[in-house]
Copies of this chain bind each other. A is one copy, B any other.
Amino acid sequence: MSKDLRVGIAGLGTVGGGTVRLLLENADLLAARCGRPVTLAAVAERSNNRVPGLPMDGIAWHGDAMALLDEDLDVTVELIGGAEGVSRDLVAESLRRGRHVVTANKALIAHHGAELARLAEAHGVVLAFEAAVAGGIPIVKAIREGMAGNNYSRVYGILNGTCNYILTAMRETGREFAEVLREAQDLGYAEADPGFDVDGIDTAHKLAILASVAFGCEIDFPAVHVEGIRRVSALDIGFADELGYRIKLLGVASRTEGGIEQRVHPCMVARDTPIAAVEGVFNAVVAHGDFVDTTMHVGRGAGERPTASAVVADIADIARGPRPPTFGIPSRDLARLPTRPMAEHVGAYYARLSVVDRPGVFADIAAALGAHEVSMESVLQRGRAPNEPVPLVMTLHETREASVVAALDAIGRQDSVVEPPYMIRMESF
C-alpha cells in the first residue's frame, strides 16, 4: 500500500467533529477504497472542545488555524466558515504552497470560488467543495462528472433544511412562521440568528455554486435574486393546499436566451411532483440535461455526519489519485461474502387467497397460521358468494419467511382454498 495521505482539519465545530469521527471510525474502509491510509495528522481549533469519545492522541493540536501551514500535510480541510478572514487566508495560502484543499465553506466559494480555482490550477492542486452544497448529497460530482456529457438547461432545488423544516412544520401544524421558527431553534434546526437561513442567503450561496458547475460560468453571487420565507403565512400554506400546491423555498438557476437566471424565493410546486414530497430537513437537487433529461438527488442537507460524508468523499478523491478501482476497491480485495437465504428474511407479508365462501374456512386458515407461529395483522374479504370462490387477503406481522412459506403451503393444500396463495412482501424503509 502506498504512502498515507496526511490531512489537517481547521475547525472542530459540528462538521469538523463529524469529519474527525468518520476519518477515525471508518479508517480501514477508507484505506481499502483509497489504496492508502488517510491519516488525520493535525487539527486546529481556537476553543478547546475535544471531539467527545474520540482518541485524539498522536494528532497535533493548534489554536491558530494558520499553524496548519507549517505541518507536513497533503490536504488542508477548511471547516471554519466565513467568506473572509482566516478561512480565506488559510485556503489561499494552502493552495499557493501546492497543498490540496477540501472545504465545506459555501460563503467562501460563492464569493471567491473562481479566484481560488485559478490558484489551485496554477499550483496543480485540487480545490474541492462537495460539502458546500446540499450536505451529504454528492450533487457537485453528479453534475460535473456523472452527467458530464450534458448541456444543462436548469438546476434547482431545496437547498436549506432549516427553511424546509419550517415550511413543512407550518403546513402540518397550521401555525405561523414565528412560532415554528422558535420551535426549530429549540430543536437546534435553526440558529439563534436565523437570518442566514430564513432570508435565503445560504440557499443563494449554494445556488451560485451549482450554477457555475452546471453552466460553466464564473460564480456570480451578486446576480442571485434572493427572497426568504419570513412573509409566508399559515394562510398562504392553507390556500396553497386548496389549490393543490406545496410551498418550498427553492433556488432555481436557468440558462435562458436573456442570460443566466438565478433566483431564490418561496415557490408553489404541484403537490404531486417529486420535489413536493421532499419534506422536513431533507434537501433535493434537480438537474435537467439535454440527454439525461431530469434527475433528482435527495438526502440530508446538513448535520454532522452527512456533511462529513461529503468532506471525506472529496478527501478520498484526492487520496485515490487518477482513478478509483472498478468496483470501489482493488479487485483482489473484493470479498466473497456469504449469502443470506431468503428463508432467513424477516419482514411483513401480504397474502392473497382464493377461498370457497363457506363457514369454518377462516378458522382452518387461522389454525394453519398459528401452527407455524405466524400472526395475522389484518384480513379483508371482498364480496359474498356462498360456496363460490372469493378473494381473501391477509397482512401478516413481521416474521421469518420460512414460517410464512410453510404456513401458506399448508393453507394452499386445504380443500376450500382453490388456487395457490400469492404472497407479496411488505417493506418498511
Contact = CB atoms under 8 A, between A and B. Distances in A.
Interface string A315-329: 111000111111111
A8 interface: no
A150 B426 contact: no
Given A261-B339, A337-B259, A339-B220, A309 B429 contact: no
Contacts of A424: 232, 236, 240, 247, 265-268
A246 B268 CA distance: 26
A299 interface: yes
A53 to B, nearest CB: 16
B149 A138 contact: no
Given A216-B328, A393-B239, A291 B305 contact: yes
A84 to B, nearest CB: 20
Contacts of A11: none
A176 interface: no
A291 to B, nearest CB: 4
A324 B323 CA distance: 11
A2 interface: no
A225 B405 CA distance: 15
Contacts of A22: 149, 291
Given A273-B429, A424-B232, A330 B121 contact: yes
A413 to B, nearest CB: 19
Most chain B CB within 10 A, of A212, A220, A332, is at A212
B286 A121 contact: no
Interface string A125-139: 011101000001110
Most chain B CB within 10 A, of A233, A262, A352, is at A352
A216 B327 contact: yes
Interface string A388-429: 000101010000000000000000000000000010111111
A200 interface: no
The contact size tier of chain A is 35 or more
A297 interface: yes
A229 to B, nearest CB: 10
B121 A326 contact: yes
B259 A338 contact: yes
A305 B293 contact: yes
Interface string A288-305: 011111111111100001
Contacts of A309: 147, 149-150, 289, 291-292
A126 B325 CA distance: 8
Interface stretch (A56-64, A250-258, A365-373): A250-258
A54 interface: no
B306 A293 contact: yes
A422 B308 contact: no
A83 interface: no
A250 B347 CA distance: 15
A376 interface: no
14 contacts: A33-B148, A114-B331, A117-B325, A136-B295, A137-B295, A144-B327, A145-B316, A146-B313, A148-B312, A148-B328, A216-B328, A243-B378, A263-B345, A322-B322
Given A146-B310, A268-B426, 16 more contacts: A26-B291, A30-B148, A33-B216, A116-B326, A117-B334, A121-B331, A138-B295, A141-B145, A217-B334, A218-B336, A268-B350, A274-B277, A274-B298, A277-B277, A293-B300, A294-B429
